Amino acid sequence: MRLLFATPYYYPDFRFGGPPRKIHALARGLAERGHHLRVITFDFENRRSRERRDIEGVEVEYLPWIGRGLKQVPLNLRSISDAVANVDAVQCYGLYNLLSPIVAYIACRRDRPFVLEPLGMYPPRARNPIAKKAYNFLLTRWMMRRATAVIAASQGETAELGRIADPKKIVYRRNGIDVSAFANLPSGDKLRQMWDISPNEKVILYLGRISPIKNLEQLILAFAEVDLPNLRLVLVGPILEPAYEARLRALIATQHLEPRVLMAGPLYGEEQRAALALADLFVLPSLNESFGNAAAEAVAAGVPVLLTETCGIAPLINGRAGLSVPLGVKSLASGLRTMINDPARRKQLVARRAEVVRELSWDEPVRQTEDLYQSVIEPRKLSRKVDAENFR
């Protein structure tokens, strides 16, 4: 099969968290199974870029664009049209960008099936809800109607998308992770020394974007409420919203937590895995996650996990590799006490971690995605063959 992925961000642009890695993992997995994968995306550092490169067997083309931040308008629509014309199926990733609806429109004009994966962005949350509602009214509803299939990464997202899309079109397909990358972690000693964390201090780690959707205010307040000795909270991740960073730093100061809460900035590759090696507990307190790859990686690294029930991966982890709790400062604080201060209960909650790790590989999601594309491509090919025979 010849497949086209359209996404505003792509690997290895790590500042956007899990989606670039997830999209690349799917593309690479399909390429390894013998399919031709092409990705069209943006270079955020060079808006004029038209570069083409091969990234681990995936052909990636960067589109020139105008705009600001994630509000890009792609230029050179002919290049997009040609890319769509030369594939069997198209997949558009994410909402609240203009690339997805433009590619979807061209796919419809070119009679190519397209699959939409909202990446947990529907319904609108956090920033700019009015603008997002307008986008949904004008563009998301149209894409949902015209899409051949809509992919949800969790059962919760499946239910949410059922409010706007035909339930018959919605396909549940979980995310995965590269389990082998977390089998042997580097030492966290250098980070412990760099962050001035003493050997007898335990570390609660958050790893992800520093963004309002991640609900870090409640985590900081829960940490303050627990007030256990010899405990550090380390927040690791890229800061794309300076105003939110300022809010968090003000909250940390108000709670008198400066010596105990560290905003460490982004870490990638070996350093990110070293942070997991250092952690005694991983926390994902998000208001919403379609899946929650960071939590999955923590499980693969052998770190107990505390997360909110609003994360798509929560049912997979809860009571097997960690604990899920409702949103709220009190529930997060209770979860922290359990996971840090009650070793017997924690041992029970993570006793089935090995089972969860086996369920987290990319093998099944890639196979399921391959089957989905075949199911949407074959009927089109058959229809064209019938039309051609009737014409003769």
**Cβ atoms of residues 345 and 338 within 8 Å:** yes
Do 375 and 251 share a structural domain?
no
Are 11 and 43 part of one and the same domain?
A: yes
Q: Are residues 369 and 351 in the same domain?
A: no
Give me the mean pLDDT over the 199-203 stretch.
96
CATH number at residue 29: 3.40.50.2000
- pLDDT at position 14: 83
For position 387, what pLDDT does the model report?
Answer: 47
What is residue 244's three-state secondary structure? helix
The token pair at 363 is 């093998």
Tally of CB atoms within 10 A around 258: 10
Do 100 and 168 fall into the same domain?
yes
Residue 390 has a pLDDT of: 45
pLDDT of residue 380: 64
Shared domain check, 166 and 228: no
**Residue 352 shares a structural domain with residue 370:** no
Contact status, residue 196 vs residue 381, Cβ threshold 8 Å: no
**pLDDT score of 315:** 95
Mean pLDDT value across the chain: 93
pLDDT given for residue 383 in this prediction? 52
Is the same domain home to 120 and 183?
no
| H-helix segments, 150-263 | 155-161, 189-194, 216-226, 242-254
Location of structure tokens 């075949």:
374
- Give the Cβ contact number of residue 338 at 10 Å: 15
* pLDDT band, very low/low/confident/very high, at 124 (cuts 50, 70, 90): confident
Question: Do 312 and 367 sit in the same domain of this protein?
Answer: no
Q: What is the pairing mode between strands 202-207 and 231-236?
A: parallel
Angle between the N-to-C axes of helices 216-226 and 329-341, in degrees from 0 to 180, rounded to the nearest 10:
60
Find the domain containing 58 and state its range: 2-176+362-391
Question: Do 218 and 336 sit in the same domain of this protein?
Answer: yes
Q: In 3-state terms, what secondary structure has residue 292?
A: coil
CA distances from 225 to 148, 257, 334, 336 (A): 49, 11, 9, 10
Which among 136, 139, 175, 147 is positioned nearest to 20, based on CA atoms?
Answer: 175
Return the minimum-mean-pLDDT range out of 1-5, 23-27, 238-242: 238-242
Q: φ and ψ at 285, to 5 degrees?
A: -95, 25
Confidence of residue 18 (pLDDT cuts 50, 70, 90): confident
Of 193, 154, 185, which Cα lies nearest the Cα of 298?
185
Please tell me the distance from the alpha carbon of residue 333 to that of residue 72, in angstroms, as a whole number: 40
- If you write DSSP's letter for every residue of 245-286 in order, what string do you get? HHHHHHHHHHTT-TTTEEEEE---HHHHHHHHHH-SEEEE--
| Number of domains the chain is built from | 2
CA quadruple 69, 235, 267, 343: dihedral sign: negative
Distance from C-alpha of 19 to C-alpha of 297, rounded to nearest angstrom = 14
Residue 385: per-residue pLDDT = 47
Q: Are residues 142 and 27 in the same domain?
A: yes
pLDDT, mean of residues 238-261 = 94
Query: Residue 206 — φ and ψ, nearest 5°?
Result: -115, 135
Q: Among all chains, which residue has been given the structure tokens 């031709």?
A: 36
CB-CB contact of 87 with 113 (8 Å): no
The answer to whether residues 184 and 332 belong to one domain is yes
Residues 59 and 135 in one domain: yes
Residue 131: C-alpha distances to residues 97, 135, 136, 293, 334 (Å):
11, 6, 9, 27, 36
The per-residue pLDDT for range 66-104, each reduced to its tens digit, is: 988 668 899 989 999 999 999 999 999 999 999 999 999
